[in-house]
């Protein structure tokens, strides 16, 4: 399956496109002899949208993926290298004269730079891109070295998925005698990434960054756009975990 096809399919399963599809189906049912089914589906979508937009629900969903103790520096120093996985990029940003790291990538880079400064371990970055785009890994190397003043030893600019990042990392790092890594990615992505890299043969020390934080008071029951985004990310990860399991990745 091509990267483009997988993106289309995953979008149809994820928030908000899945809700849009269900709303369209309910509209068709309301105009037919299956009006009761249409009303039921409409109520179901409204309830699902409300719940997944509530911070208290989004927080529980995130913790269903990863809820481990924070990494300590003494544990981090047991690794041989830091592997920072790419997220997204902001394409063709005129103020930077090219692409720049998107928020998810920037969060991972920041933590990777911090861990390097505290441990002295070498860094690998990875992440490909769409045809014609600058690979995420090259953007990461440039910004780590110029903005964070952090050297990057290895670059994997062809890896388009987490599974490919694990495979390509094995081919490169095993040849360098590295098999124990600090794996840096966002908290929501960590479960799938850790499973994938362990299946590739690495001993993984998880270094997740950015646990979503929401208001502690009654506002956690009020729907918010950022909570809906986090719920969507969790759904994406569970689908990804299931897909990798079916493929045996």
Q: Residue 98 has what pLDDT?
A: 87
Contact by Cβ (8 Å): 109, 126: no
Q: Do the bridges between strand 180-186 and strand 203-209 make them parallel or antiparallel, or are there none, so unpaired?
A: parallel
Q: Residue 216 has what pLDDT?
A: 81
Q: Residue 16 has what pLDDT?
A: 86
Q: Residue 129 has what pLDDT?
A: 83
| CA 235 vs CA 37, 109, 110: distances in Å | 25, 24, 25
CA dist 72 and 69 (Å) reads 9
Long-range pairs for 29-38: beta carbons < 8 A, 24 or more residues apart: none
Residue 174 neighbours by CB under 8 Å, 6+ apart? 201
Q: Average pLDDT by consecutive 10-residue portion of the chain (249 residues)?
A: 66 85 95 94 96 95 88 97 95 89 95 98 93 90 96 95 95 96 96 96 96 84 94 92 83
Domains defined along the chain, listed by start? 3-66+226-241 (no CATH), 73-209 (3.40.50.620)
In this prediction the pTM is 0.88
The residue assigned the tokens 């997220």 is 87
């Amino acid at each position: 399956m091509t990267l483009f096809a997988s993106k289309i399919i995953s979008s149809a399963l994820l928030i908000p496109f899945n809700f849009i599809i269900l709303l369209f189906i309910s509209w068709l049912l309301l105009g037919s002899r299956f009006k009761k089914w249409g009303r039921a589906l409409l109520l179901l979508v409204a309830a699902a949208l409300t719940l997944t937009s509530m911070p208290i629900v989004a927080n529980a969903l995130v913790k269903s993926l990863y809820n481990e103790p924070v990494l300590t520096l003494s544990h981090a120093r047991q690794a041989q290298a830091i592997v920072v996985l790419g997220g997204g990029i902001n394409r063709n940003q005129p103020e930077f004269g090219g692409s720049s790291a998107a928020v998810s990538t920037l969060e991972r880079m920041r933590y990777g730079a911090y861990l390097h400064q505290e441990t002295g371990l070498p860094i690998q970055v990875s992440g490909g891109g769409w045809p014609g785009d600058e690979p995420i890994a090259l953007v990461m190397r440039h910004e780590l070295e110029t903005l964070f003043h952090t050297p990057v030893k290895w670059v994997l600019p062809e890896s388009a998925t987490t599974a490919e990042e694990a495979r390509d990392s094995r081919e490169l790092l095993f040849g360098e005698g590295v098999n124990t890594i600090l794996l840096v990615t966002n908290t929501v992505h960590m479960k799938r990434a850790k499973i994938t890299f362990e299946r590739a043969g690495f001993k993984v020390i998880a270094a997740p960054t950015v646990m979503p934080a929401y208001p502690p008071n009654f506002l956690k029951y009020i729907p918010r756009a950022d909570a809906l985004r986090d719920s969507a990310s969790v759904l994406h990860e569970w689908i990804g975990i299931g897909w990798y399991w079916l493929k045996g990745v």
